[in-house]
Amino acid sequence: MTAAAFIIIAGIILIGVIGISGRSREKGMSSWLVAGRGLPRWTSWFLQAGESLTTFSFLGLAGIAFSGGVSATFAVGYLSASAIGLFFVAPRLRNLAASRNYLTMADFFHDRFGSRSLSVLIAIVGAVFLIPYLQLQITGLGLIVELVTGSAGASGLSMVLASAIIVVFVIVAGIRGLARVSIFKDAGMLVGLVIVAVAVITAFNGIPEIFAEVAVTNASMLTANADGYGAIWWISGVAITTIGAAFNTMPHLWPPVLAAGSARILRSNLKWLAVYQLLLFIPILVGMGGLILLDPATEGNRVLLTVAGQTMPSWLVAVVAVFGAAAAMVPAGSIVMGISSLVSHNVLYKVPEKLRFRLNHVIIVIAVGIALVFGLKGADIGALLLLTYGGLSQLAPAIACGLGDKVKVSAISLGSGIVVGTLLVAIITFAELPIGTWDSGFLALIPNLVIVAVVEAIVRIRRKTGAGDTGPRQGELEVPVA
Amino acid sequence: MNEPTPPTRTVTATQVVVACIPAVLITFTPLFPFANEPGLIFGIPTMIVWMAALVVAIVIILQIIDRQITAREDALEAHAATATAGHDHTEGDLA
């Protein structure tokens, strides 16, 4: 085993130790998933802010900067813009959850729309679309190790080891363990990104020198007009991702919101969240430095660590890789908690509560196992992320309709829209329909909204004529706006 | 004496609209010739400077709105506390 491989394996084990340290095993779903809704400000901050520093920001973003130049700033844009939406939406969700005892996103749908079917549909859609995102984190971790050690064997071993550690610390310590590892990960990512940035800046003798060379060799990289990117790619991608993130459509991001001690804590964190996104300029800088340093045929996901390898000693690259591994393991832990809680709490709702919590642990093992198997086979990180974001963004209209004092749209119309929207995203992705640079989630949102409007019109006409009873009228529950 | 009416909502439509302005600017960035051009400002691409400026704008706007919301929440809580105290006082007098 090389020194680099040893450092990374030791780092992955350390992450697991941090995760399970300091607490006895969580024994109930509420404490395990939302920490009794009492997380203090800084713990809440690291859980929320940490989501923007994942393997995508570590590997994918530098790759986009390498192939699309400053178009990569779209990530800074949508993450900052979504903080605005979350600033208003998250406190409302947290207050609703506290007063109505929600543990998951699907609980919100069950309560607000009075529909168990919609709740189960949301839970299934959420769990299915999170699997690629989980796989993406494990694949990214393996890629980091492979790039640093140069060994496919070490990559596979690290993926298996990290997956096992994720299962253990998530089952044992729940959201509190995740928060501890998040603090380590964010501090480490900050240090790691700064180390890489300093190395690249030193290699060029300054930041302006990097961009000056890019301006001479490929000026189109300084605009959002590079081949394959352009205005349609930017606008449709930023719009749908902002809408999705602003309405918190990713189920695994609900526990951090629901666990916050108060709505004020969430607001006070979210008003600063955009500042955190400035860190993403570092992988963008490195990716654009790669335009000068690397062979143009270099694969996008390999750009950051290849540049790091050319400008830093190997042991330091291995230390940076440990933080990259943490950037995969923390979101992976959060995602698997989202999947397992949706399935055990909302799909298997008829199972007795105590047994459900045990089944929750079994589902964690199964979900990580599935993602690991697919991860070992390899997958394209960018495409998987688009599938997850595009699919889950289809839940945005339904969440928006559930935020008001009174719910005025029926579960059947929103459910129909979700089914159409998510199916369309899957068809576009898997059938590789020629949609140019349009975002599949953006395109799918249009028929989603049309279906909601049409079905809702039919429901209202039937109600007026008394032709059909669609069950209890949704929206009878009134919850004051916070 | 007319007591000021306490706010019934802590978030206003105006606050939401104002906060969304930077989000709209971010979304349509490629259409703005002043942002989407190959120049450099102090050696940094115009697009990166533009995005950083919008991030700062978002933080400033949300700071201001958060203060307003917190003030409204405090006013609501104070009003509720006064109403409760007045109710208790009346009950005490009756007893």
Per domain, the residue ranges of chain A are 3-379
Q: What is the pLDDT of residues A330-373, one digit of tens each?
A: 999 999 999 999 999 999 999 998 899 999 999 999 999 999 99
| Whole-number average pLDDT of chain B | 87
| CATH code of the domain occupying A3-379 | 1.20.1730.10
Instruction: Give yes or no for A191 touching B (CB within 8 A).
Output: no
| Whole-number average pLDDT of chain A | 89
Instruction: Give yes or no for A117 touching B (CB within 8 A).
Output: no
Contact flag B27-A238 (C-beta cutoff 8 Å) = yes
On the question of pLDDT at B3 being above 60, the answer is no
Confidence bin at A432 (pLDDT 50/70/90) = confident
Q: What is the pLDDT of residue A309?
A: 86
B21-59 exposure pattern, b = at least 16 Cβ within 10 A, e = fewer: ebbebbbbbbeeeebbbbebeeebbbbbebbbebbebbb
- Alpha-helix residue ranges (DSSP H) falling in A312-439: 314-341, 353-377, 381-392, 396-401, 411-430
What is the predicted ipTM?
A: 0.90
Bridge partner list, B41: B44
For chains A and B, what is the number of CB pairs under 8 angstroms?
122
Residue B47 with chain A: CB contacts under 8 Å? 70, 73, 222-224
- Average pLDDT of the segment spanning B29-56: 96
For A:258-277, CB contacts with B below 8 A are 264, 267-268, 270-272, 274-275, 277
Give the closest-approach CA distance of A223 to chain B in angstroms: 5
Q: What is the pLDDT of residues A314-341, one digit of tens each?
A: 888 898 889 888 999 999 999 999 999 9
Confidence bin at A389 (pLDDT 50/70/90) = confident
More reliable by pLDDT, B60 or A300: B60
On the question of pLDDT at B42 being above 50, the answer is yes
Instruction: Give yes or no for A278 touching B (CB within 8 A).
Output: yes
On the question of pLDDT at A65 being above 80, the answer is yes
For A:44-103, CB contacts with B below 8 A are 69-70, 73, 76-78, 80-81, 83-85, 87-88
The whole-angstrom separation of Cα A136 and Cα A134 is: 5
The whole-angstrom separation of Cα A388 and Cα B5 is: 47
Give the closest-approach CA distance of B89 to chain A in angstroms: 27
Considering only CA atoms, which of A439, A93, A59, A472 is closest in space to residue A238?
A439
Tokens of A191: 């240090």
On the question of pLDDT at A246 being above 60, the answer is yes
The whole-angstrom separation of Cα B22 and Cα B35 is: 14
- Average pLDDT of the segment spanning A236-241: 94
Contact flag A278-B23 (C-beta cutoff 8 Å) = no
Q: What is the pLDDT of residue A475?
A: 45
User: Taking a C-beta distance cutoff of 8 angstroms, is the pair A346, A180 a contact?
Assistant: no
Q: What is the pLDDT of residue A344?
A: 95
Q: What is the pLDDT of residue A5?
A: 84
The whole-angstrom separation of Cα B15 and Cα A267 is: 14
Give the closest-approach CA distance of B59 to chain A in angstroms: 6
On the question of pLDDT at A93 being above 60, the answer is yes
Tokens of A231: 């205005």
More reliable by pLDDT, B77 or B88: B77
Q: What is the pLDDT of residues A104-139, one digit of tens each?
A: 999 999 999 999 999 999 999 899 889 888 998 898
Closest chain B CA to residue A71: B47
Instruction: Give yes or no for B14 touching A (CB within 8 A).
Output: no
